[in-house]
Structure formats: C-alpha cells, structure tokens
Amino acid sequence: MALKLSGTFTALVTPFQPDGSLDLAALARLVEWQIESGVDGLVPCGSTGEAATLSHDEHMRAVRHVVEVAAKRVPVIAGTGSNSTREAVELTSAARSAGADAALLISPYYNKPTQEGIYQHYRTVALEARLPILLYNIPGRTASRIEPETTARLSTVPGVIGLKESCGDFTATSAAILGSAPDFAVLSGDDALTLPMLAIGGRGVISTVSNIAPRAMVDLVRYFAAGDLAHARRLHYELLPLIQAIFVETNPIPVKTALAILGRIPNATLRLPLTEMAKKNRDQLEAALAELPRA
C-alpha cells in the first residue's frame, strides 16, 4: 500500500482482559469501527496504546493483529520507539516483518540526547530497519525536544517521511515545516491544536480523541482540506470539551474509561503504574460524553 500521510490516524488504545492480558478480540472490534468511521490510518502501540508496559511479544502480537484486521483497507503505522537505538531498530524491523506500512518513534526519553544524538538515533533506525518512519516530538514525555533544524536535517534522510508534533510551539513547528523537504509531512499530535496546525501547513492528525469520536475528527480534517473552515471550526469547538476531558488525567486513562463507558471495549483495565480514573474527573468525562458530537 502506498502510504498517503494525510488525514486522521487513530492512536489506538490496547484493550486488556480483566487479568491484564491482551484482548485481541476487543482490539479487532475497535479497528473495524474505526475503519467504518472513515479514519485514514491506524497507529497501534504508541503512548495511547500503553506501549511502555507491553512486552516485545505483546507489542508485535498487537501490531500484527491490527495489520491482519485492517487487511490493507487503511495503512498501519506501528509505534516502535525506545530510548535505546538498538531496541528501536529491532522493534521497527519486527513491525516491518509484521506487515506495518510505517513506524512512529518517540524521541529518545530519559537519556536526554543532544540534537546530534537525536539525529543519529532516527537516521540509524531509518537506514537499518528499512521501514518508513515518523519522528515524534513530545517534550512533555521525553525531557528533550527535536529542534526545527534537526527536523529539517532528518527530513532528507531516506525513509524519514514525517513528524508527529506535540511540542505546542507554533513558531518552532512553522520553522520545522518551512525548513523541511517538500514531501515531508507534519501531523498534529495534540487533538486540541489540530485545526491551528492545519492552518500552518500540517497535513492531519494522529489523534487520541478519534478513538471515541472518529467521524467528528475525520470530518474536521476533511472540511478544512475542502476549504470549509466554518464547518471545521464548528467541529473543533464541539470536540473541545471532550478533548479537555480525555486529558484531565494521564493518557490513556480517560480515553480507555470513555471507550468502556460507551461499550466499545469491555472494560477500562490499565497496567500499573496507570490507575483507575478519579471520580471527579470521571464525572467531567461522562458529562463531555453526553454531548458527544454527531457530525
């Protein structure tokens, strides 16, 4: 499948059985609903998918299952990031073998590499794993950031095709877009900032809220692409209370809770150190779900 890196890509949750094991049947149902709702791609085993607590075997089982269920109807971009370059190469190579169309790699966390270290990390993965990769800039989780100059350098490395941007700095993001290769795609990694990201040249979103409201997020991006800013803006504001509610606690605690409330997954089982949602925050979430957009 030729990968078109634009539109709405859902950062899938990973459903678990009550005993904490993978619930692949629930994952398959979620994938089917997402595809039926018109999403442009699926991203299993990222931050929203609790990749940090998956074993390597579970990680690849989940990726392979999403690939099999999607059956080439939409592309699958597997989360394969690590703070170890060697481990990132291994995970990305395994994702290629599992049939993923591309990989999304969080910038190395905890190590706090220099910009040269970040550059060499991504370059090594792209050249050795031989699967198209997206950078993922989220300083709030990694304690370092990918500077625009580094993004521009990486945009010319064979196999580096895009960036998931969650830095919240539109000046820096604008510089990254301006300095990067013409075919390099920047996607929003923050649901609340998707519309302004599109306005400065972003091509879509890797979305958490689309787990819950896929059609609304799909329509927001498509309305903007069609030049219908009024409808895109309406959906942005309709989605905003839900977006705020699903980030009132650490992702993916609220989004998994919401999916369980809606009956899209059987339960909201999480793996420690993530814990059940606090009641006052759940109340806020339930109020937002009651006003769920029907685009």
Among this protein's residues, is 280 annotated catalytic? Answer: no
Q: For 122, left (φ over 0), alpha (ψ -120 to 50), or beta?
A: alpha
Specify the 3-state DSSP secondary structure of 83: coil
CB-count burial class (<10 Å; 0-12, 13-18, 19+) for 36: exposed
Contacts of 248 (CB under 8 A, 6+ apart): 254, 281, 284, 285
Q: Which of 72, 109, 122, 164 is catalytic?
A: 164
Q: Which of 4, 72, 112, 136 is catalytic?
A: 136
Q: How far apart are CA 16 and CA 24, in angstroms?
A: 8
Q: How far apart are CA 267 and CA 30, in angstroms?
A: 13
Lookup: tokens for 186: 């920047």
89, 103 contact by CB (below 8 A): no
Q: How far apart are CA 33 and CA 23, in angstroms?
A: 16
Lookup: tokens for 66: 């999403």
Lookup: tokens for 242: 């839900």
102, 131 contact by CB (below 8 A): yes
Among this protein's residues, is 164 annotated catalytic? Answer: yes
Q: Which of the residues are catalytic? A: 136, 164
